[in-house]
Amino acid sequence: MVTLLAAPAEPLTNAGDTQLVLAALLGIAAVVLLIAWGKVHPFLALILGAAVLGVVAAVPVDKIVTSFSGGVGSTVGGVGLLIALGAMIGGLLAESGGADGIVERVVGRVSGTALPWAMAGVAALIGLPLFFEVGVVLLVPIVLLVSLRVNVPLIKIGIPALAGLSVLHGLVPPHPGPLVAIDALGANLGQTLALGLLVAIPTVIIAGPVFGNFIARYVPATAPAALLPTRRDAADLSPTRPGDGRLDADGDLVTEDDLVNPGTGRPGGAIDEPAGRRSRRAPALWAAVVTVLLPVVLMLLRAIGELTLGEDTAGRKALDIVGTPIIALLAGVIFAMIFLGYRSGFSRTQVSGFLGGSLPPIAGILLIVAAGGGFKQVLVDAGVGDLVANAAEGANLSPLLLGWLVAVGIRVATGSATVATITAAGIVAPLAATLQGPEVALLALAIGCGSLFFSHVNDAGFWLVKEYFGLTVGQTIKSWSVMETIISVVGFLGVLLLDVFI
């Protein structure tokens, strides 16, 4: 996840190392048991798990609350807005028929056996300039529709898409983790980018299509009904009695709760169309494609500007603004409103309904992801990340292995890839001075690989994937967590292999 949750200057507790380890283990165990055995909602389970962790670590109760709230706020501010805007784009794509057009083109051009490879390639391309969660919310409607249309197991094409996004997020600039490592180690950005792409290609193949084809046999996931993009044909609709709804002057269905919650209550849910006043036409394929790619292009232009333009130039400042994820996604929403909504014959009320209807289903996802961020912040603030870092400082290991192991330990303990990257890079930074240019770039990549190791219940990304793909905790661990581990290990082996020849 991209939300940077920095540890405080001093831990919130004076607990010893053994007590901190016990607190982390009990907190994580509490979350897993409450969800898997107690059937407690993940949002509540994460809150209670954070409380268990803090109490066992002897953190004052008021500081537990402050730390958890800060983590929730940071996560919602950084991730929540992106999820909401991405859901709006998905809702407009589904209701206008734009997503159907993309799916029909993909299905028509790619055979069933090649679909996982195509999804991995598309995700990797889109993921080059995108943050992970932005790519997820943009690709999920496409993945769900492709799975439904060609009757391919959801995991078989979902895992390749997630692998493409995750590998690029962890290994290739301009993502925050690689950029932090590059800055801390003094690595050459161009070398890191080139070597990162060399490592990324085989890693995506193994963790994506190869693993996805295997694990799909053991994780029979089905798309959540509330998130499945669907449309209702105008011929199947008719005005209902006043108590259920009525047509306004534009021929749009009006219900009693329109002012409170316009829309259908779920993305892709049917919005009743008028009996005949407004003509409807399917949007052009280019409009649907531009809707998906516009945020990508804007963020990519920002990344190019950071590499080629001076900080104080007008062009750099303009690209920094339009390439901000929130601005880029907002531009995508506005473009979709015009070209998928109004230009396709929908009224302003209906477009508003599509947007409003895309938000209620993600409320639960937002709360769970936010609680995951809060749980992670309590781990960080209690000093668990510092514990792992301190244990690694005295180890007599090669810089590449040390950087990877430290990142792995902090990733597993805190759930934050960014915190793992920052801490590991800081620990091994003195060793970077003894390495040659390409070796420093490989050290940055080794840390990036370690920061992706085994995402589990303390990672907000774990809950994002679980909810979007309708998985249980066990299924998410068997698919998503194992996939992340494969990425980490295969990527690190690729780094070691390059180190032999450089």
**What pLDDT score was predicted for residue 227?**
66
254 phi and psi, to 5 degrees?
Answer: -115, 130
The residues, any chain, with a CB within 8 Å of residue 249's CB and separated by 6 or more, are none
**What pLDDT score was predicted for residue 236?**
41
**What pLDDT score was predicted for residue 254?**
36
Report the range of poorest mean pLDDT among 214-218, 258-262, 341-345.
258-262
Spatial distance between the Cα atoms of 388 and 371, rounded to a whole number of angstroms: 23
The residues, any chain, with a CB within 8 Å of residue 426's CB and separated by 6 or more, are 184, 389
Spatial distance between the Cα atoms of 375 and 52, rounded to a whole number of angstroms: 10
pLDDT tens digit string along 427-451?
A: 777 778 778 878 999 999 999 999 9
Amino acid at 486: I
Q: Whose structure tokens read 């905790």?
A: 473
Spatial distance between the Cα atoms of 414 and 276, rounded to a whole number of angstroms: 56
Is residue 246 classed as helix, strand or coil in its secondary structure?
strand
Spatial distance between the Cα atoms of 183 and 178, rounded to a whole number of angstroms: 9
Residue 189 has pLDDT above 90, yes or no: no
Q: Which of 119-123, 302-306, 333-337, 437-441 has the highest mean pLDDT?
A: 333-337
Threshold 0.75, pTM exceeds: no
Q: Whose structure tokens read 């996982």?
A: 116
Instruction: Grade residue 130 by pLDDT with cuts at 50, 70 and 90.
Output: low
Spatial distance between the Cα atoms of 376 and 5, rounded to a whole number of angstroms: 8
**What pLDDT score was predicted for residue 426?**
67
Task: Please tell me the total number of residues recorded for the chain in this structure.
Answer: 502
Spatial distance between the Cα atoms of 127 and 136, rounded to a whole number of angstroms: 9
Beta bridge partners of 246: 254
Beta bridge partners of 253: 247
Residue 48 has pLDDT above 90, yes or no: yes
**What pLDDT score was predicted for residue 174?**
59
Taking residue 29's Cβ as centre, other Cβ atoms within 10 Å add up to 14
Structure token pair of residue 103: 């799916």
**What pLDDT score was predicted for residue 358?**
82
Structure token pair of residue 46: 């994460």
Task: Answer for the pair 416, 448: CB distance below 8 angstroms, yes or no.
Answer: no
pLDDT tens digit string along 49-72?
A: 999 999 999 999 999 999 999 988
Residue 245 has pLDDT above 70, yes or no: no
Report the range of poorest mean pLDDT among 42-46, 113-117, 197-201, 267-271.
267-271
Spatial distance between the Cα atoms of 356 and 350, rounded to a whole number of angstroms: 10
Mean pLDDT, rounded, of the chain: 79
**What pLDDT score was predicted for residue 81?**
81
358 phi and psi, to 5 degrees?
Answer: -85, -10
Is residue 214 classed as helix, strand or coil in its secondary structure?
helix
pLDDT tens digit string along 140-149?
A: 777 888 888 7
Task: Answer for the pair 337, 62: CB distance below 8 angstroms, yes or no.
Answer: no
**What pLDDT score was predicted for residue 243?**
38
Residue 217 has pLDDT above 90, yes or no: yes
115 phi and psi, to 5 degrees?
Answer: -60, -45
**What pLDDT score was predicted for residue 318?**
93
Instruction: Grade residue 499 by pLDDT with cuts at 50, 70 and 90.
Output: very high
**What pLDDT score was predicted for residue 434?**
75
Helix (H) or strand (E) holding 253: strand 253-254
Nearest to 100 by CA among 38, 153, 144, 151: 144
**What pLDDT score was predicted for residue 170?**
87
**What pLDDT score was predicted for residue 162?**
95
Spatial distance between the Cα atoms of 471 and 469, rounded to a whole number of angstroms: 6
484: alpha, beta or left, given left = phi > 0 and alpha = psi -120 to 50?
alpha
Cα dist. 348→221, 224, 344 in Å?
36, 28, 11
Q: Whose structure tokens read 């190869």?
A: 210
Which DSSP string corresponds to 84-116? HHHHHHHHHHHHHTHHHHHHHHHHHHS-GGGHH
pLDDT tens digit string along 302-328?
A: 878 877 888 889 999 999 899 887 898
Spatial distance between the Cα atoms of 47 and 378, rounded to a whole number of angstroms: 10
Instruction: Grade residue 176 by pLDDT with cuts at 50, 70 and 90.
Output: low
